[in-house]
A and B are shown apart, each in its own frame.
Chain A
Amino acid sequence: MTRLLLIPAVMLALLGGAMVWSGSAVEKKADFTFINRGEVTSLDPNRMSWMQDIRIGYALWEGLYTIDPVTLDAIPGSAFPIDVSADKTVFTFHIRPDARWTNGDDLLASDFIFAWKRMLEVPGEYTYLLYYIKGAKEYQEAFANHFATADFSKVMIQELGPKVLKVTLVHPVAPFPDICAMPAFYPLNEKSMNKFLDRKTLEKTGGRIHQYDLAFTLPPNLVTNGPYELTKWEFKRRMRLQANKYYWDRASVKSPIVDQLSADDIQWAYAKYESGGIDWIPEFDGEIAAELYKRHRRDLHVFPAFGTYFYSFNCQPKLSDGRPNPFADVRVRQAFCMAIDKRIIVDTITRLGQIPSTTYIPVGSFPHYVSPPGLKMDFAAAKALLADAGYPQGKDFPPVSLLFNNESVHGPIAENIRRQWLDHLGVDVKLEGIEIKMFRERLHNKDYAVARASWYGDYNDPSTFTDKYKPDSENNDAGWVNAEYAALCRAADYEPDKEKRLVYFQKAENILLNEAPIMPIYTYVGCYLFPDRSTGIPLNPRQMIVLKSVQRAPASR
């Protein structure tokens, strides 16, 4: 019998041991706590790309420019004053005398040069933003091809003094201040990263290739120059930000300790919010949000976002299997666009007040920008166009499939659209729902006929949308090439005058919408869940919240 009892005894002992092993210590409560969907993918400015990465980025770093918490306009950040030449191609940044790193080091021009050089030598997703700087693209290519002879002194990033930085651009770039505020332009503290440098590679390459172990971004290693410092990061559990005591504008940091919890499961996040103690859930969409929206919940905040949900048509002459592509004909694309009632989709499927859309750039994104009308819903005209293209009543239309990934609402929307095309055009497309990684691969390889797509703008300028359909763009998944469109985008790139640029962009978008490589469906909405006591969370379309201004109202403490 004693032998038998030993087994439960051992099990209990193991359990006790395991509990001690997995437990966590108690610490100070945060002044502001929010729940993030998923984990931050990276805090290396070179690799940050997701919304959640960039949000934390703005809390930890500060570029030469930064963004206004409310309007999101570019405002001077760690540099002031900033001298801009008359032709807007030369920027001279005077770094603030009191701008410092979290370790107390002075913030220097060389810190920016170090980081930007690294961006070019170890290219990341947003390295192309640096190509606006004279000589940058050439240096990147030279370094990639033959690092030993690449000459950085030809890149027009010059150190005029310890705290003075001069940057010369290839042409006037109107949104340069906005771009300059983005993570790709953050400085890095070389001293703190030295112990993560791969010395073997450095020696082997004659001191040219600097590779860092990315552990430099994990606390307590990470040294930053923004409002906060990262004091804790438990993978997929929690991140803790603590006010940077060396930040020059520390007086405007409202919450000294900010916690970010991470939760994959939205139901759990909602339950946690309901149980109290959570001040904000960004990206609160899906079924629960739709239900709360129906009930007009006061703490659910829904607003138009800086992104469009649309369908992309493959415009190349042949499909990937070699058959002729019916969507190469602009009339077919127009017919398909005009045969859809988008209102039904937002009212019955997405159900969060998304705005049915006929434009690619969300209407109202830019002050003074007049959106072109786009293709309106018109079933009769759609039928006529399709007949004109040689498919009366959809007869003899070759079999094509509609590609989407199975997540979220993409499936139901595809079903609805298939039904509408069948009813309004007599064309029956096959639905092909696949897993997201495969979906992206096929979209990028243009291995589809019609596919679900979406685009969110990165910075405050129409080019963040229009660039996608330039002929040489990596992201031109439609394979659509239009010389006039390309010329207009280029003209806008070189135009220093803001209003004139908008006219170019408007003409370009008009061509895009009439040529219809894409079928806009709706403008995304942003959904935040936060109680009245939370302040400093403006509802701006880019959904970028500057964490230094968030606060839990003192009365409710």
Chain B
Amino acid sequence: MLRFIAIRLLQFPLILAIIYLVTFMLVWVAPGDPFTRTDKKIDPAVIAAVKERLHASHWYTFLGYYPLLMIQGNFGPSLTYEEWPVSKIIGDAIPVSVTLGLYALVVATGAGVAIGTMAAVWRGGPFDWFSLSVALVGISLPSFVTASILFAVFSVTVHWFPIGHWGSLRDLTLPGLALSLAPMAYIARLTRVAMIDVLSSDYIRTARAKGLSRRAVVWKHALRNALLPVLSFLGPAAAATLTGSFIVEKVFNIPGLGAHFVNSVLNRDQTLILGAVMVYSLFLLALNLLVDVGYAFVDPRIDVTAKGMKS
């Protein structure tokens, strides 16, 4: 197991380097630069001086300077907001995005598993139908719709939640909920299907025949096995909630990483784009590794080191 983790960790730098190069190429091929900020044209000599100062005159000066800085943990200054180091921008935003993403993930997993289990246990009943339709809506509605509706109803109309604060659990509730709906629906459906499958298996029937109560069977025997598909979904779900929060961040004006990522692309802020991509990539790589390890942890029968494993 340790060997497996070590090998995966050793692969990280190579994968990150490839991602860096590909992103770098895309960024340099894209038309426009970060230095023309208004409709007014600036004296070419001024632009040349700025480029020179930022090592951005040519692709090779850029590539000869920034990757070396990055290895030292410094992404250089933002090319659009020159006084702000990219590391500081990202460093301030990560805690916010991570908090929001984790909150959404906790809500999604908790509620999703509960709904899915109940739906499976009362299969075919009204709750099952209800949960199925809710899940369908949750999967289908994009987050800018759900986020806007939640914001309009609970913040603007009935004033249950404050607008424009950040820090307390209460401020997290609405954006977290908006972000959690899609994975929650997905988890609910996954749990339900897996649970139905498990509940109709032989060993459950045996357990019931033995005289165990339904509650004990569901809690002790069924849930554990039914949760495996949910667990494997947690990786992608965490990635989605941690990195996909841009729209929710925009609606609720939350100073997270998603907004910087999108704006950096619009501004052609090359250093910030590369910084954000690197951080996101590292996130995804780490999460994938975590899921694989977690998988083995819950079900020791699974050999993640075997060939053909999911990544």
User: Contacting A24 at CB < 8 Å: which of B45, B159, B166, B252?
Assistant: B166
B227 & A234 in contact (Cβ 8 Å cutoff): no
In the assembled complex, A44 has its CB within 8 A of some CB on chain B: yes
A437 to B223, CA, bound (A): 53
A324 to B43, CA, bound (A): 29
7 contacts between A and B (CB under 8 A): A19-B167, A50-B37, A261-B164, A263-B253, A268-B250, A441-B36, A454-B39
B156 & A275 in contact (Cβ 8 Å cutoff): yes
A22 & B167 in contact (Cβ 8 Å cutoff): yes
Interface residues of A in 221-278 (CB under 8 A from B): 234-237, 261, 263-265, 267-269, 271-272, 274-275
User: Contacting A144 at CB < 8 Å: which of B42, B45, B255, B297?
Assistant: B45
In the assembled complex, B231 has its CB within 8 A of some CB on chain A: yes
Q: Tell whether A440 pairs with B36 under 8 Å between CB atoms, given A1-B224, A144-B45.
A: yes
Interface residues of B in 24-44 (CB under 8 A from A): 31-33, 36-44
In the assembled complex, A218 has its CB within 8 A of some CB on chain B: yes
What 1/0 mask marks residues of chain A from 421 to 446 whose CB sits below 8 Å from any chain B CB? 00000000000000111101101100
User: Contacting B32 at CB < 8 Å: which of A23, A124, A441?
Assistant: A441
B77 & A214 in contact (Cβ 8 Å cutoff): yes
A444 to B33, CA, bound (A): 13
Least Cβ distance of B82 to chain A in Å? Answer: 5
User: Contacting A264 at CB < 8 Å: which of B88, B156, B250?
Assistant: B250
A47 to B46, CA, bound (A): 10
A217 & B43 in contact (Cβ 8 Å cutoff): no
A22 & B251 in contact (Cβ 8 Å cutoff): no
Residues of B with C-beta under 8 A to A4? 223-224, 227, 298
User: Contacting A127 at CB < 8 Å: which of B46, B98, B148, B259?
Assistant: B46
In the complex, what residue of chain B is closest to A261 when comparing beta carbons? B164
Residues of B with C-beta under 8 A to A21? 95, 98-99
B167 & A24 in contact (Cβ 8 Å cutoff): yes
A47 to B167, CA, bound (A): 33
Interface residues of B in 187-217 (CB under 8 A from A): none
In the assembled complex, B49 has its CB within 8 A of some CB on chain A: yes
What 1/0 mask marks residues of chain B from 215 to 246 whose CB sits below 8 Å from any chain A CB? 00001100110010001000000000000000
In the assembled complex, B286 has its CB within 8 A of some CB on chain A: no
A58 to B85, CA, bound (A): 25
A1 to B159, CA, bound (A): 41
In the assembled complex, A43 has its CB within 8 A of some CB on chain B: yes
Residues of B with C-beta under 8 A to A450? none
Residues of B that sit less than 8 Å from A by CB: 31-33, 36-46, 49, 53, 77, 80-85, 88-89, 92, 95-96, 98-99, 102-103, 105-106, 109-110, 148, 151, 155-156, 159, 162-164, 166-169, 172, 219-220, 223-224, 227, 231, 250-253, 255, 259-260, 263, 266, 268, 294, 297-298
Residues of A with C-beta under 8 A to B102? 11, 14-15, 18
In the complex, what residue of chain B is closest to A438 when comparing beta carbons? B31
Q: Contact residue range for chain A?
A: 35 or more
Q: Tell whether A474 pairs with B297 under 8 Å between CB atoms, given A11-B102, A47-B82, A236-B260.
A: no
Residues of A that sit less than 8 Å from B by CB: 1, 3-4, 7-8, 11-12, 14-15, 18-19, 21-24, 39, 41-44, 47, 49-50, 122-125, 127-128, 144, 211, 214-215, 217-218, 234-237, 261, 263-265, 267-269, 271-272, 274-275, 435-438, 440-441, 443-444, 453-455, 474-475, 477
Residues of B with C-beta under 8 A to A237? 255
Least Cβ distance of B173 to chain A in Å? Answer: 12
A235 to B80, CA, bound (A): 13
Least Cβ distance of A138 to chain B in Å? Answer: 14
Residues of B with C-beta under 8 A to A43? 83
Closest 3 CB pairs of A and B: A437-B32, A22-B95, A214-B83
User: Contacting A474 at CB < 8 Å: which of B42, B81, B172, B260?
Assistant: B42
A271 to B164, CA, bound (A): 9
A123 to B106, CA, bound (A): 52
Residues of B with C-beta under 8 A to A14? 102
In the complex, what residue of chain B is closest to A445 when comparing beta carbons? B41
Residues of A with C-beta under 8 A to B95? 18, 21-22
A39 & B159 in contact (Cβ 8 Å cutoff): no
A144 to B49, CA, bound (A): 9
A123 & B43 in contact (Cβ 8 Å cutoff): yes
| Sample of 7 more A-B contacts, CB < 8 Å, known A4-B227, A214-B82, A235-B92 | A11-B102, A15-B106, A19-B169, A42-B81, A123-B43, A218-B83, A272-B164
